[in-house]
Amino acid sequence: MSNNENAFEKFLKNHEEEDWNASLTELLPFIHEVDRNATQIWFKFYPIKLFRVLQESAEPEKLIQKFVMQGKYKLADQIDESHVFLYGHRYWSQVKKAVEEYAVSFQPNGHEKLSNEICKVAKNVSEQTKVDESLLVGITAVAFMTLVQVGLPAMKAASGKMLIDAKHAKLSPEKVLAQRAKDDGQGIFGFLKTVDKQWTVTFNENTDNSFKLMNEEEIASGAAHDNSKDWKAMDERCIEGPIPVECRSASCGTCWVGVLGGAEKLGDVKRLEGRRVKEFGYIDTDEKKPLIRLACQAESYGAVSIVIPPWNGFWGKYVRKMEEGETEEASTSMTA
């Protein structure tokens, strides 16, 4: 992040995690259903709290090691691609340009509200592109947060390219939602089947990448049978199948996923998973069917669509200790 922040960057910088959460809650009713889960998942994948802790640390490299962070966790390294799973990614280039222009022309009056500013830019883009505003609010919120974490110069330097192929890019939001809602047929005697039912887990809607798993099987177990590609060559965390795994027992946090569609078709979060996701720092909720799950724990009872984050780490427990007043050194000297 540049030290020469402009007024807009300073305005955004004044918002902490709670402010972003509150703004997102206010915006959700205005985000099209196709991106309501995706936007919430994106904000869990790129948390401002983790970004700030690393940014403000005197020894970020040491913290990164303590948090056992693996993969691509820096937004600066994926400005154009981090949000490819949002439907609104299709409009990234227009939204990115509009946010950059807004950032330059911003004249603060001291009464700005984050959610209003996001809606204002989304409305501008909607008027220019004739795209429904509800399809632009989520991706505009993402662009605002990206600006916070990468700074205006880096954002401007990114190409703004849309990364979905033509066939998938032209799918309507309704079609995407219909595909997410579809369950696998089980044949004409499917109603007699019990344990041998099979379900599809789509893990990249833009390429139709998917694997099958048995009824009640955990998502990560199903993924392990998928040898259709050299997943390790694409992401070295993938030792078997497309979902990174290590422990398979809710201990390492490697296998977290976001659930774009079908969260209600996964088994309830059990005590161990519920406790560990908070300790990892991924999500802080007691919901039984949240949008963030550990793939080694979540059993499937139907077809689901997930998104695999490009990184994993174990930071929530340590950051909580730091917030409670422990020094960085003391909090990160605890054992997992």
294 touching ligand FES, by CB under 6 A: yes
Rounded CA Rg of the chain: 20
Taking CB under 6 A as the criterion, the residue among 15, 168, 248, 320 binding ligand FES is 248
Taking CB under 6 A as the criterion, the residue among 296, 304, 307, 319 binding ligand FES is 296
336 touching ligand FES, by CB under 6 A: no
The CB-of-211 to ligand FES minimum distance in angstroms stands at: 16
Nearer to ligand FES, 248 or 321 (CB): 248
How many residues make contact with ligand FES (CB under 6 A)?
12
Nearer to ligand FES, 151 or 253 (CB): 253
Nearer to ligand FES, 275 or 288 (CB): 275
Torsion-angle region of 285 (φ positive above 0: left; ψ -120 to 50: alpha; else: beta):
beta
41 touching ligand FES, by CB under 6 A: no
**Which range in 43-51, 208-216, 224-232, 244-252 contacts ligand FES by CB under 6 A?**
244-252
Instruction: State how beta strands 304-307 and 198-204 pair.
Output: parallel
Three-state DSSP string of 30-41? HCCHHHHHHHHH
The residue number whose beta carbon is nearest to ligand FES equals: 296
The CB-of-83 to ligand FES minimum distance in angstroms stands at: 24
The CB-of-247 to ligand FES minimum distance in angstroms stands at: 4
The CB-of-256 to ligand FES minimum distance in angstroms stands at: 8
Nearer to ligand FES, 180 or 293 (CB): 293
Of the candidates 211, 212, 196, 203, the one whose C-alpha atom is nearest the C-alpha of residue 180 is 203
Angstrom distance (rounded) from CA 17 to CA 237? 28
Angstrom distance (rounded) from CA 193 to CA 42? 37
The CB-of-294 to ligand FES minimum distance in angstroms stands at: 5
5 touching ligand FES, by CB under 6 A: no
Is residue 209 within 8 Å of residue 226, measured between CB atoms?
no
The CB-of-231 to ligand FES minimum distance in angstroms stands at: 15
Residues in 73-112 that interact with ligand FES by CB under 6 A: none
Q: What is the largest CA-CA distance in the chain?
A: 66
The CB-of-68 to ligand FES minimum distance in angstroms stands at: 11
DSSP one-letter string for 12-74: HHT--HHHHHHHHHHHGGGS-HHHHHHHHHHHHHS-HHHHHHHHH-S-HHHHHHHTT-EE---
Helix (H, G, I), strand (E, B) or coil at 112: coil
Burial of residue 329 (CB within 10 Å: 0-12, 13-18, 19+) is: exposed
Angstrom distance (rounded) from CA 259 to CA 273? 15
Nearer to ligand FES, 8 or 231 (CB): 231
Residues in 251-290 that interact with ligand FES by CB under 6 A: 251-255
245 touching ligand FES, by CB under 6 A: yes
Q: Which residues contact 48 (CB under 8 A, 6 or more apart)?
A: 15, 16, 17, 20, 145, 148, 149
Alpha-carbon distance values, 44 to 40, 55, 132, 153, 247 (Å) = 7, 18, 25, 24, 22
Nearer to ligand FES, 103 or 224 (CB): 224
Question: For binding to ligand FES (CB under 6 A), which residues are involved?
Answer: 245-248, 250-255, 294, 296
